[in-house]
Chain A
Amino acid sequence: MVNIALPKGRLGEKVYDLFEASGYACPSIRENSRKLIFENESAGVRFFWVKPSDVAIYVERGAADLGVAGKDILLEYAPQVYELLDLHMGNCRMAVASKRGFRDNPDKTLRVATKFTNIAKKYYGDQCRDIDIIHLNGSIELAPILGLSDVIVDIVETGTTLKENDLVAYETIVPISARLISNKAGYQFKYAEISAIVTALKGQVNPG
Chain B
Amino acid sequence: MTIKSVIMDEKGIERSIVRLAHEIIERNKGVVNLVIVGVKTRGEFLARRIAAQIKKLEEANLPCGFIDITLYRDDLQTRRLEHPELKGTEIQFDITDRHVILVDDVLYTGRTTRAALDELVDIGRPASIQLAVLIDRGHRELPIKADYVGRNVPTSVGEQVKVLLKEIDDKDEVLLVDVG
A and B are interacting partners: no
